[in-house]
């Protein structure tokens, strides 16, 4: 991610969090090391691949709104933290690895996907998505506002986020639906969200294509 940043010590980062009203329980489990801080709103063209990001510090802090033209992606362990002190908008968020994502405001996406991650994911505002897909024991640690939009999740995860589930075929484009012929567990990427083919879902997000019928109709 080629952006202009300044290095902040942990104490300086905490001071910034306090100035912006970020609750202590959001950042107390971050690594107490240096962070790269971008002052003001930030727009990123294409994907923001957290696995490929190489900050000088332990992660990025955006002191403003973050607008990502593509998706925020994490499929590996060891990715840097991303703290957004405003709102976050992206085509999609896909978290599968060691994600640390904290958003002070709202999140607006076509698809918010979380699966099998050893994570810290806290959204203090609303989560507004054309679909939220939760799989393999993943659920956000916090959605402080309201989760808007349909949820695709096994019952144990739907109960954790206190949301009714939708039918995958009524929400997702046909290309990412699981069929009876889909028996390759590796290709499914361990997804247990009913009706969702995890591999094809990631491929379509990575290709910059909408994964929901609503997103397809909106050209997003």
- Residue 95 CA to residue 101 CA, distance in Å, equals 9
What pLDDT is attached to residue 1? 59
Summarised one tens digit per residue, pLDDT across range 12-60 is 999 999 999 999 999 999 999 999 999 999 999 999 999 999 899 999 9
Residue 58 burial by Cβ neighbours in a 10 Å radius (0-12, 13-18, 19+): middle
- Residue 119 CA to residue 21 CA, distance in Å, equals 22
Instruction: Return the structure tokens found at 193.
Output: 């969200």
Task: With a cut of 70, say whether residue 220 has pLDDT above it.
Answer: no
CB 184 within 8 A of CB 212: no
**What Rg, from alpha-carbon coordinates, does the chain have?**
17
Strands 35-39 and 66-74: unpaired
Summarised one tens digit per residue, pLDDT across range 103-114 is 999 999 999 999
Query: What is the mean pLDDT of the segment spanning 92-103?
Result: 95
Domains of the chain by residue range = 6-165
Helix (H) or strand (E) holding 113: strand 107-115
Determine if the pTM surpasses 0.75: yes
């Amino acid at each position: 991610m080629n952006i202009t940043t300044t290095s902040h010590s942990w104490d300086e980062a905490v001071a910034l969090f306090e100035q912006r009203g970020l609750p202590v329980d959001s950042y107390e489990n971050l690594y107490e090391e240096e962070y790269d801080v971008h002052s003001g709103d930030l727009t990123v063209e294409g994907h923001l691949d957290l696995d490929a990001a190489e900050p000088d510090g332990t992660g990025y802090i955006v002191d403003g709104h973050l607008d990502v033209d593509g998706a925020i992606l994490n499929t590996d362990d060891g990715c840097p933290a991303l703290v957004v002190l405003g709102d976050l908008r992206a085509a999609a968020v896909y978290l599968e690895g060691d994600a640390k994502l904290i958003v002070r405001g709202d999140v607006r996406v076509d698809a918010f996907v979380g699966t099998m991650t050893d994570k810290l994911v806290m959204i203090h505002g609303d989560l507004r998505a054309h679909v939220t897909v939760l799989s393999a024991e993943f659920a956000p640690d916090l959605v402080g506002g309201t989760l808007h939009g349909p949820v695709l999740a096994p019952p144990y995860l739907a109960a954790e986020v206190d949301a009714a589930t939708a039918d995958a075929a009524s929400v997702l484009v046909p290309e990412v639906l699981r069929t009876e012929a889909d028996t390759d567990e590796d290709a499914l990427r361990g997804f247990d969200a009913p009706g969702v083919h995890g591999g094809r879902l990631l491929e379509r997000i990575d290709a910059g294509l909408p994964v929901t019928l609503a997103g397809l109709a909106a050209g997003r």
